[in-house]
């Protein structure tokens, strides 16, 4: 595309939508115009952008005429309804919800991992789950070096992954407990303050949660290797921003901790913090507001021949959502893929 694209942000008044606008500004994304969109109740309000304010327009079926690129952060139901209309208008959609992730018509992309999958998009591209994104950024260079057989991951996920209401609930519960009052739980099934909840999303028939199965299925799709086996336990913890993950990896071939450390240090999007004797390892407070995925506690699993353990931390609102979406958009521009080959595929 020779001209600078017109960019829409659907769900612009939410936490991730606002972060998308902020990142577009920070990274000087070459948009000729940025249009914030939201529901009818938010239409007419303003959102900050580039030192000024943009007026929010109502998201409708006709909103995408003249729009080249739409970044969606408006929820799965909204995306299912409006993304096809955007594609029909010739607009390329990068969607942050779970609506299109496992749809065979839609690439599921982390630019550091599988940018080539963008080549076959038909107008809707899916942004993976936050916990999956940070893990595959670290897995991909190691898989290229030694071929991953199996991954066992346990997550420690911040409340911001559930939105502003969850952040407020954690704040409120902490205050009430310090004032010797009984905290109420409404966002989560149990109190989150000073607690850990081994449930993110609903339980499925196999007794895994929906979040856990997202990590299983999305990892295989992104990595493009159905031989990789993944099992997950996802846990909500009383942290505001930054997801942490304990990841155990079994490889086909031997990869030492030293070799893995070198590979990860050279990999795109990764910062290695790994000197445990000096108390240096990734923590959520390191990741908040940062673009990188942080990796540490790199050590060999002494119970198997070819195993490693990693500790992975990333800002779930940035790399886990808004930043990855913008990076996909940047890659589309770089590859001249900001076009819809078959606008009828989703109808």
- Report the catalytic residues: 130, 243
d(Cα 99, Cα 89) in Å, to the nearest integer?
19
d(Cα 234, Cα 155) in Å, to the nearest integer?
5
With a CB cutoff of 8 Å and minimum separation 6, the contacts of 143 are: 223, 225, 228
Closest CA to 314 of 263, 259, 273: 273
d(Cα 320, Cα 318) in Å, to the nearest integer?
5
153, 249 Cβ separation under 8 angstroms: no
With a CB cutoff of 8 Å and minimum separation 6, the contacts of 21 are: 9, 12, 34, 36, 47, 48, 49, 54
d(Cα 235, Cα 152) in Å, to the nearest integer?
14
With a CB cutoff of 8 Å and minimum separation 6, the contacts of 112 are: 137, 140, 267, 268, 269
Closest CA to 110 of 341, 320, 283: 320
Closest CA to 148 of 215, 230, 56, 33: 230
Secondary structure (3-state) at 36: strand
d(Cα 293, Cα 266) in Å, to the nearest integer?
13
Report, in this order, helix, strand and coil percent for the chain, each rounded to 5. 35, 25, 45
């Amino acid at each position: 595309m020779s001209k600078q694209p017109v960019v829409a942000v659907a769900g612009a008044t939410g936490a991730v939508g606002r972060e998308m606008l902020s990142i577009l500004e920070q990274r000087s994304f070459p948009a000729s115009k940025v249009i914030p969109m939201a529901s009818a109740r938010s239409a007419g309000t303003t959102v900050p952008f580039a030192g000024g304010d943009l007026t929010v327009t109502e998201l409708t079926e006709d909103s995408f005429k003249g729009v080249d690129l739409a970044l969606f952060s408006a929820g799965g139901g909204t995306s299912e309804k409006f993304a096809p209309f955007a594609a029909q208008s010739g607009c390329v959609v990068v969607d942050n919800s779970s609506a299109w992730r496992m749809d065979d018509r839609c690439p599921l992309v982390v630019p550091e991992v599988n940018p080539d999958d963008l080549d076959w998009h038909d107008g809707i591209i899916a942004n993976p789950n936050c916990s999956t994104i940070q893990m595959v950024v670290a897995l991909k260079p190691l898989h290229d070096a030694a071929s991953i057989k199996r991954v066992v991951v346990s997550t420690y996920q911040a409340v911001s992954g559930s939105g502003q209401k969850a952040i407020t609930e954690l704040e409120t519960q902490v205050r009430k407990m310090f004032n010797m009052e009984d905290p109420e739980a409404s966002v989560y099934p149990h109190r989150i303050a000073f607690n850990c909840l081994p449930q993110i999303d609903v339980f499925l028939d196999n007794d895994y949660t929906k979040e856990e199965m997202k990590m299983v299925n999305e990892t295989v799709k992104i990595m493009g290797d159905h031989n990789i086996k993944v099992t997950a336990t996802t846990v909500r913890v009383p942290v505001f921003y930054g997801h942490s993950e304990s990841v155990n990896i079994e490889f086909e071939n031997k990869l030492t901790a030293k070799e893995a450390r070198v590979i990860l240090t050279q990999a795109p999007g990764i910062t290695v913090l790994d000197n445990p004797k000096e108390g240096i390892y990734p923590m959520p407070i390191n990741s908040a507001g940062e673009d990188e995925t942080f990796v540490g506690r790199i050590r060999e699993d002494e119970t198997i021949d070819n195993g490693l353990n990693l500790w992975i931390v990333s800002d779930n609102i940035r790399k886990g959502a808004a930043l990855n979406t913008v990076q996909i958009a940047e890659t589309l521009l770089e590859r001249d893929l900001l076009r819809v080959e078959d606008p009828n595929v989703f109808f």
